[in-house]
Amino acid sequence: MSTDHQELVLRSLTAALQSKKLYPPGHPSVAAPARKAFQVLTPAIKETPKLTIGMVEEALVYNETPVAEAEENYIDIIEQMKHKDLEAMTFEKGTTEKEVVDFLNILALESAPSDIQKELSTKGISHITVKTVVKNKSILEVYNEAVDTIKNVMGELRLGKIPKSDAVNHVVDDLTDKILTDSNAMVGLTMIKNYDDYLYNHSVNVGILSLSLAKHMQLGEEDLHTVGVASILHDVGKTGVSEDIIKKPGSLSSEEWEKVKEHPVLGSKITKRMDNLNDTVCRVILEHHVRYDKSGYPPVEEDIHPLSIIVSVADAYDALTTLRVYQKPYQPIEAIKILKGLAGKHFDAKTIEAFESMIGVYPLGTLLRLSTNEVGVVTKTNPDAHDRPEIKILFAPDGEKVEDPQILDLATPDASGTLVIGSVDPMARNMDMGEFYTNEAIAAEEAEAKK
Ligand SMILES: [Fe+2]
Ligand SMILES: [Fe+2]
């Protein structure tokens, strides 16, 4: 392999990417450099049946050889690869001009599709493949990214813009991933309640709870994605209601209340205008305050969609467990009782049953007093024996905080003599459950890093 090819190829790709920054697609000044790149690539591929340009620890690599002075000469390639989380792009023998042109178009996109390889296949590009960096994001990173994403979406809407759906789709994929692998830790984070910016954390919490419920109900991949997107966006319509009303500390006048009640319709109108969102997402958003018995708002003719019921149950649970001006937060155990009391009226009984079985008799976020008079927090629910969860003992029998809290799995034979006596109000123990689960997630992350 000659370095001549290397320089020619990298230079021509850089020129093609630069031209895309300067000119709109279709402009002759864009087409020529892309064609040139193809012409240079062809002999280079011939020489090495496969040509791979990659990134290894921040360094640009051409067919496994690090490229000297890459930052100075080929910064556009580096930037686009980093931006698209690409570890490598490979050109194989038989690559056509159209493939190179289409590939460069995708590579130069400002907001990349969440799955570039899939995008290549959709475009019929079969001789160019990409490898994406596998980033193992922590659950906290995913949670915070989700909060930032919904914050940005709502921010753009308040400015009168229609946001792109890429970031939302991306974040829903990440959340789903974590819920499939570490659902306990993720549900624990829904105890994070932000009273100043209630709407963002609430949206993410409803997203997590809806996805967990959908997973528990064994819904397929497509439904999971739809319910994830719909739940995280369920309250976007509130951006169309004045912030004075949304954040009003006191109770609302009937006129103000009528305004708030418009948010499902406004929300579905917004999502209809967003790209790449399916009709069910808009429908779920429209229906998230319609009750099972058709009371609620707005009035609808049809039976509500099963995914709408999932979101409405998750929405109600998060609202009940959150401190509001007009409501002290209910303990998770109490919230479940309230929801069960509404089964068959506000929510269908089957979804409530599934929710209870997902969240457990003693849900995450619950402090329990044991027969030993110790007090501990639920760290893992036990689907096989709901009344025997795993807990972390935080308070000794004398009420003193334990220095080095230990896990006690009530399902193990060792703990068979220990009974759960009842729940304890975290506020009475000065405990912030959101903070507790955040610290647990940080500790788990640190332990993982040490491995
Ligand atoms: Fe709502
Ligand atoms: Fe909501």
Instruction: Say whether both 328 and 385 belong to one domain.
Output: no
Kindly identify the ligand whose nearest atom is closest to the C-alpha of 322: 2
pLDDT value of residue 350: 96
Cα–ligand 1 centroid distance for 235 (angstroms): 5
Instruction: Say whether both 64 and 212 belong to one domain.
Output: no
Rounded Cα–Cα distance for residues 80 and 104 (Å): 10
Kindly identify the ligand whose nearest atom is closest to the C-alpha of 200: 2
Write out the residue range of the structural domain in which residue 127 sits. 3-132
No. of helices (H) and no. of strands (E), the chain: 18, 10
Those residues whose C-beta lies under 8 Å from the C-beta of residue 290, and which sit 6 or more positions away, are 264, 296, 297, 298, 300, 304, 308, 312
Cα–ligand 1 centroid distance for 236 (angstroms): 8
Helix (H, G, I), strand (E, B) or coil at 164: coil
H or E, element range at 317: helix 306-320
Rounded Cα–Cα distance for residues 382 and 402 (Å): 24
Cα–ligand 2 centroid distance for 267 (angstroms): 11
Cβ pair 363, 386 in contact under 8 A: no
Cα–ligand 1 centroid distance for 261 (angstroms): 8
Those residues whose C-beta lies under 8 Å from the C-beta of residue 211, and which sit 6 or more positions away, are 172, 175, 176, 179, 224, 227, 228, 231
Handedness of CA 433, 434, 439, 440 (dihedral sign): positive
Instruction: Say whether both 115 and 254 belong to one domain.
Output: no
Residue entry with tokens 């296949």? 121
Query: Which one, of 189, 215, 188, 206, lies nearest residue 150 by Cα?
Result: 206
What does the mean pLDDT of the chain come to?
92
Cα–ligand 2 centroid distance for 199 (angstroms): 8
* pLDDT band per the 50, 70, 90 thresholds, residue 50: confident
Kindly identify the ligand whose nearest atom is closest to the C-alpha of 319: 2
Kindly identify the ligand whose nearest atom is closest to the C-alpha of 296: 1
pLDDT value of residue 48: 79
pLDDT value of residue 145: 94
Cα–ligand 1 centroid distance for 263 (angstroms): 7
Cα–ligand 2 centroid distance for 367 (angstroms): 25
Range 100-117 average pLDDT? 85
| pLDDT tops 60 at residue 21 | yes
Beta-strand relationship, 407-409 and 390-395: antiparallel
Rounded Cα–Cα distance for residues 59 and 79 (Å): 11
Query: Which one, of 68, 39, 67, lies nearest residue 52 by Cα?
Result: 67
The CATH number for 291's domain is 1.10.3210.10
H or E, element range at 422: strand 420-424
Instruction: Say whether both 187 and 47 belong to one domain.
Output: no
Instruction: Say whether both 204 and 297 belong to one domain.
Output: yes
Kindly identify the ligand whose nearest atom is closest to the C-alpha of 241: 1
Last residue of a domain, one of 336, 359, 382: 359
The two three-digit tokens of residue 271, written as one number: 């999502």
pLDDT value of residue 373: 96
Kindly identify the ligand whose nearest atom is closest to the C-alpha of 206: 2
Cα–ligand 2 centroid distance for 344 (angstroms): 21
Cα–ligand 1 centroid distance for 195 (angstroms): 16
In the chain, the amino acid numbered 218 is: Q
Query: Model-level pTM?
Result: 0.76
Range 45-68 average pLDDT? 89
Rounded Cα–Cα distance for residues 235 and 214 (Å): 19
User: Per-residue pLDDT tens for 332-346?
Assistant: 999 999 999 999 999
Kindly identify the ligand whose nearest atom is closest to the C-alpha of 285: 1
Cα–ligand 2 centroid distance for 234 (angstroms): 6
Instruction: Say whether both 178 and 202 belong to one domain.
Output: yes
Q: Please state which of the ranges 96-100, 117-121, 272-276 shows the lowest mean pLDDT.
A: 117-121
Kindly identify the ligand whose nearest atom is closest to the C-alpha of 237: 1
Cα–ligand 1 centroid distance for 178 (angstroms): 25
Cβ pair 216, 354 in contact under 8 A: yes
Cα–ligand 1 centroid distance for 238 (angstroms): 8
Query: Which one, of 124, 122, 229, 241, lies nearest residue 170 by Cα?
Result: 229
H or E, element range at 370: strand 367-370
Instruction: Say whether both 164 and 203 belong to one domain.
Output: yes
Instruction: Say whether both 299 and 184 belong to one domain.
Output: yes
pLDDT value of residue 2: 52
HEC letters along 55-118: EECCEEEECCEECCCHHHHCHHHHHHHHHCCEEEEEEECCCCHHHHHHHHHHHCCCCCCCCHHH
Residue entry with tokens 């178009």? 105
Cα–ligand 1 centroid distance for 183 (angstroms): 24
Cα–ligand 1 centroid distance for 239 (angstroms): 11
Beta-strand relationship, 86-92 and 128-132: antiparallel
Instruction: Say whether both 350 and 201 belong to one domain.
Output: yes
Instruction: Say whether both 395 and 298 belong to one domain.
Output: no
Which residue(s) pair with 53 in the sheet?
62, 89
Q: Please state which of the ranges 47-51, 346-350, 354-358, 380-384 shows the lowest mean pLDDT.
A: 47-51
User: Per-residue pLDDT tens for 378-433?
Assistant: 999 998 898 999 999 999 999 999 999 999 999 999 898 999 999 999 999 999 99
- Helix spans in 190-240 (H): 198-216, 221-232
Kindly identify the ligand whose nearest atom is closest to the C-alpha of 264: 1
Rounded Cα–Cα distance for residues 112 and 173 (Å): 15
| pLDDT tops 90 at residue 1 | no
Cα–ligand 2 centroid distance for 265 (angstroms): 13
Kindly identify the ligand whose nearest atom is closest to the C-alpha of 317: 2
- The percent of residues above 70 in pLDDT, for the chain, comes to 99
User: Per-residue pLDDT tens for 297-315?
Assistant: 999 999 999 999 999 999 9
pLDDT value of residue 116: 87
Cα–ligand 2 centroid distance for 397 (angstroms): 39
| pLDDT tops 80 at residue 195 | no
Cα–ligand 2 centroid distance for 259 (angstroms): 15
Instruction: Say whether both 293 and 348 belong to one domain.
Output: yes
Cα–ligand 2 centroid distance for 140 (angstroms): 22
Half-sphere exposure of 420 (CA within 13 A, CB side): 22
| pLDDT tops 90 at residue 5 | no
* pLDDT band per the 50, 70, 90 thresholds, residue 3: low
Last residue of a domain, one of 101, 132, 163: 132
Kindly identify the ligand whose nearest atom is closest to the C-alpha of 150: 2
Those residues whose C-beta lies under 8 Å from the C-beta of residue 174, and which sit 6 or more positions away, are 137, 142, 145, 146
Helix (H, G, I), strand (E, B) or coil at 139: helix
Last residue of a domain, one of 81, 116, 132: 132
In the chain, the amino acid numbered 163 is: P
Instruction: Say whether both 445 and 399 belong to one domain.
Output: yes
Range 348-373 average pLDDT? 95
| Angle made by CA atoms 149, 237, 201, in degrees to the nearest 5 | 40
The total of structural domains in the chain comes to 3
Ion ligand 2 neighbours (CB, 5 A) are 235, 315
Which residue(s) pair with 131 in the sheet?
88
